[in-house]
């Protein structure tokens, strides 16, 4: 990709040389048991990974990613643990974006609930969707080939500052 984010096109008679990967680019995956204690462990692991790889992320972006990981792992622990004793967390970093994903073996696709201020819970996916949108990113849920699901959010590294 070039600086504009688009894939450069080769001119006639030329071949496009792939850009060298940056030191922070890559994909990392780990699993945690589907228990409450795994939520802060997953959050710390993602934070430490971003720091070790020296990903050029703003503090707001890191906080957003950690909130997303916390909410998604919490949902898997609370709603999928019977069918999924482990939860997989994946962090993929490109030149211009960071993608976090949480996968479990539960087959049902969750829906982001609308805000119901009378409830004390059930707003995690709504929060993930809104944090992702405010950062200029995208999120989705996909089925896996093994019958489970993966919920992911991709945020741009140049994420706009969140309004106060």
Q: Is the pLDDT of residue 98 over 80?
A: yes
Q: Which residue has the tokens 């890559």?
A: 26
Query: Residue 6: which pLDDT band, with cuts at 50, 70 and 90?
Result: very low
- Going edge to edge, which strands form the sheet with 149-156? 26-33, 86-93, 97-104, 149-156, 138-143
Residue 127 has pLDDT above 80, yes or no: yes
Q: How far is CA 160 from the centre of its chain?
A: 17
Give whole-number Cα distances, 108 to 35, 72, 80, in Å: 19, 14, 9
CA-to-CA distance for 156 and 99, rounded, in angstroms?
9
pTM: 0.79
Which residues are CB-neighbours of 59 under 8 A, at least 6 positions away? none
Distance, in Å, from the CA atom of 61 to the CA atom of 156, rounded to the nearest integer, reads 8
CA–CA dist 125, 131 (Å, integer): 10
User: What per-residue confidence (pLDDT) applies to 163?
Assistant: 44
């Amino acid at each position: 990709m070039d600086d504009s984010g688009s894939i450069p096109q080769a001119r006639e008679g030329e071949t496009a040389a792939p850009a060298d990967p940056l030191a922070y680019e890559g994909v990392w995956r780990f699993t945690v048991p589907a228990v409450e204690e795994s939520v802060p462990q997953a959050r710390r692991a993602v934070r430490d990974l971003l720091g070790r790889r020296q990903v050029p992320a703003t503090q707001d972006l890191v906080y957003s990613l950690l909130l997303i990981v916390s909410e998604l792992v919490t949902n898997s622990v609370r709603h999928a643990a019977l069918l999924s004793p482990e939860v997989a967390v994946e962090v993929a970093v490109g030149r211009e974006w960071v993608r976090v994903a949480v996968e479990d073996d539960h087959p049902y696709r969750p829906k982001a609930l609308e805000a119901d201020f009378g409830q004390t819970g059930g707003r995690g996916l709504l929060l993930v969707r809104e944090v992702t949108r405010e950062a200029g990113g995208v999120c989705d849920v996909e089925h896996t080939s093994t019958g489970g699901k993966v919920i992911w959010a991709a945020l741009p590294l140049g994420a706009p500052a969140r309004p106060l």
